[in-house]
A and B are shown apart, each in its own frame.
Chain A
Amino acid sequence: MWETIIVNPFSTALLLIYKLIGGNFGIAIILFTILIRLITHPLMASQIKSSTKMTEFQQSKQWQDIQKKYKGDKEKLAQEQMNLYKELGISPFASCLPSIIQIPLIFGLYQSIMRALASTPGQLLIFTRAVSPLLNFFHINSADLVPLNSKFLWMNLGQPERVYMFGVGIPLLALIVAVTTYVQSKVTMPASPNPNDQGAMMNKMMALYMPLLLGYFALTFASGLSVYFITGNLIGIAQYALLGKVNWRALIPGYKPNTTARNK
């Protein structure tokens, strides 16, 4: 089921792009990521809208009054919160959904990259069985695609990346993944002037943990996945910028958010 719906079509799409652009798998991953981001852009726009609404809600006088009123009664506070969500038309999970959708896409893409690059006999046999018939539909002979050109810039896309300097392997791509993830998290983070805002604290935690997590993935897994992460991060920033939601000043150390400028 997973193979049929996600991995095989992803692999086929990647290989079609690869073939169309003349055999560069790195460029194929970048174009494929852009394609996926374009398809999921409406979801991203809805996520941004929901996040903005949620931030506004957190800072609204109405919510702060309710918090004060039911300070000692957590159950009642939660009930009033839900009522207020309903009244203002806010879905607490709407801003979360696009991020959740990204996760199967990442799984699918990773498996597709590994399948297409087929660095073991077993992977090549799966490729031959699952992807070839779909490619035949587009009149592409799978024998022409084996092996794929897995070299992109200085990387072998099927292997974790290291740049060797003085005999030491430096995981340059993992560092770029971590930095771009951090930058994306910071500049797209909804601003909150309230230091006790739980959501803002969680956002800050995510901005720290996600670069470490994705950096770890980049360090450990095939560098093709890192190309996807970096492209995805840059496109993510571009998408926020297009919607006027990027706050570059958030990168300045010691920056204090000015919500009136950011959230209107």
Chain B
Amino acid sequence: MKTKYLLLIGLALAMAVVLGGCATGLSASSWPGVTADATNAYIAGGPYVYAVNLQTGVEVWRYPAKAATATPYYATPVLTPDGQLIVGSFDHKLYSLNPQSGAQNWVFDQARDRWIGGVLVTSEGIYATNADYNLYALTFTGTLKWVSPFQADQAIWGSPVSDGTNIYFGTLGRKVYAVNAQTGKQVWVKAVDGAILGSPVLGPNNSLYVGTYGDVLVSLNTSNGSIVKQETASSWIWSGPVQDGTNIYVGDGNGMLYAFPMTDAGQPWTQQLGGAIVGSPLVSGKTIIIGTELGNIYFIDNTGQNLRPISITGKIYASPVAAGTLILVAPTSGDNTLVALDLNGVTKWSFKAK
């Protein structure tokens, strides 16, 4: 009898431990965000934000002092013109760090949910979208200027973009919002097919492009939100598209890479790659660079020709980032935290966080 109850109490305690583990493991899951300046690469890589020297691949600093395992950093870090590194955390706080030393400048703690996407930095200040359905405008000292006077319909995972007049962002609730950059007031809202997980991108002629989980790339008119065009992909589109002035590039869950013309000069093409495409492509001159879930980085000409795959261990969900003559790739569950390639795909160095 006693054994039976002890067993039950033991199992209940085990349940507490396992549920705790489940909560942490599941809720903390995402992939790294990367950015770089002329000196360092900055990786929001889970329990720490790392600065890694671009010449040597050696860690310069890490933040915080104690690993934030339960509330990690995955939002893409963003540099400000006045020399700050802004990075959001799953602890609902937005941190400003000194890029040279990793010292904390300030913390903004008024959001009520996770920071999934990176912030937008303009000459006016910082615009930050949070999973609590709100857009926050901050000064460069971390003071709240305003929070959007309306709440979006759902969580906002992607970074916002701005054309100087308005701020644009998409929500998981399948809506695109335009908000006045000075006041935060809603200018227009438009429903699209599918949740928006990534960032929109601005194009020529007042166009705004968003990729959706509903397998479409939508082009909207920034002045009124009307849908101009819709392109269908073979699967979900996760991260935002990118553009090079003539074409817009986006990948999908089936590993298809698409180029859709934005102007008459553009030429459409598609390429079937190995593994799902989660991150955004990178445009580097006339080359498009994209990572896939199977651990390949593909270099391809912007005409859709001359495909060169490079294999890296791990899954590549994060978007590749350009840093001078280097391409930075942050694999998930691979041998390394960050890999630096040259434009020929040759590994220059790799960094593994210890």
Binding site for B on A (CB under 8 A): 54, 58, 92-93, 95-96, 99-100, 103, 106-107, 110-111, 114-115, 119-126, 128, 143, 146-147, 159, 198-199, 202-203, 205-206, 209-210, 213, 216-217, 220-222
Contacts and interface: CB of A to CB of B under 8 A. Distances in A.
Nearest to B117: A121
5 contacts: A95-B4, A107-B19, A119-B155, A120-B29, A121-B116
B10 to A, nearest CB: 11
Counting from the closest, the 5 A-B pairs by CB-CB distance are A122-B29, A202-B5, A147-B172, A143-B214, A199-B1
Given A54-B1, A92-B1, A103-B14, 8 more contacts: A103-B11, A122-B26, A122-B29, A122-B30, A146-B172, A147-B195, A202-B5, A220-B23
Contacts of B4: 92-93, 95-96
B214 A221 contact: no
Given A128-B253, A147-B173, A202-B1, A123 B27 contact: yes
A39 to B, nearest CB: 20
A143 B1 contact: no
Interface of B: 1-5, 7-9, 11-16, 18-20, 22-23, 26-31, 74, 90, 113-114, 116, 131, 154-155, 157, 172-173, 193-195, 197, 212-215, 236, 238, 253, 278, 317
Nearest to B315: A125
A54 B1 CA distance: 9
Nearest to A99: B8
Given A106-B15, A146-B213, A147-B155, A124 B1 contact: no
B18 A217 contact: no
**Looking at chain B's contact residues, is the secondary structure mostly helix, strand, loop, or mixed?**
loop
Most buried by A among B194, B236, B238: B236
A120 B131 CA distance: 9
Nearest to B11: A103
Contacts of B253: 128
B3 to A, nearest CB: 8
A143 B236 contact: yes
Contact of B26 (A123, A159, A206): A123
Contacts of A58: 1
A99 B155 CA distance: 38
B278 A125 contact: yes
A126 B14 CA distance: 25
Given A120-B27, A120-B116, A143 B22 contact: no
Contacts of B16: 213, 216-217
B195 A143 contact: yes
Contact of B236 (A92, A123, A128): A128
B22 A114 contact: yes
Contacts of B30: 120-122
Contacts of B2: 198, 202
A38 B116 CA distance: 40
A107 B15 contact: yes
Contacts of A107: 15, 18-19, 22
Contacts of B14: 103
A111 B31 contact: no
A143 B11 contact: no
Contacts of A100: 7-8, 11
A142 B70 CA distance: 28
Given A119-B155, A128-B236, A213-B16, A143 B197 contact: no
A22 to B, nearest CB: 17
Contacts of A106: 15, 19
Nearest to B4: A96
Contacts of A213: 12-13, 16
Contact of B19 (A126, A146, A217): A217
B213 A123 contact: no
A125 B276 CA distance: 11
Contacts of A119: 27, 114, 131, 155
Contact of A198 (B1, B74, B278): B1
Nearest to A143: B214
Contacts of B193: 143
A188 to B, nearest CB: 14
Contact of A121 (B3, B19, B29): B29
B31 A122 contact: yes
Given A143-B214, A210-B12, A205 B22 contact: no
A210 B14 CA distance: 13
B29 A143 contact: no
Contact of A111 (B1, B22, B154, B278): B22
Contacts of A125: 29, 278, 317
B205 to A, nearest CB: 29
A92 B8 CA distance: 13
B197 A121 contact: yes
Contact of A205 (B5, B20, B26, B213): B5
B7 A96 contact: yes
B12 to A, nearest CB: 6
A124 B196 CA distance: 12
Given A92-B1, A199-B1, A114 B157 contact: no
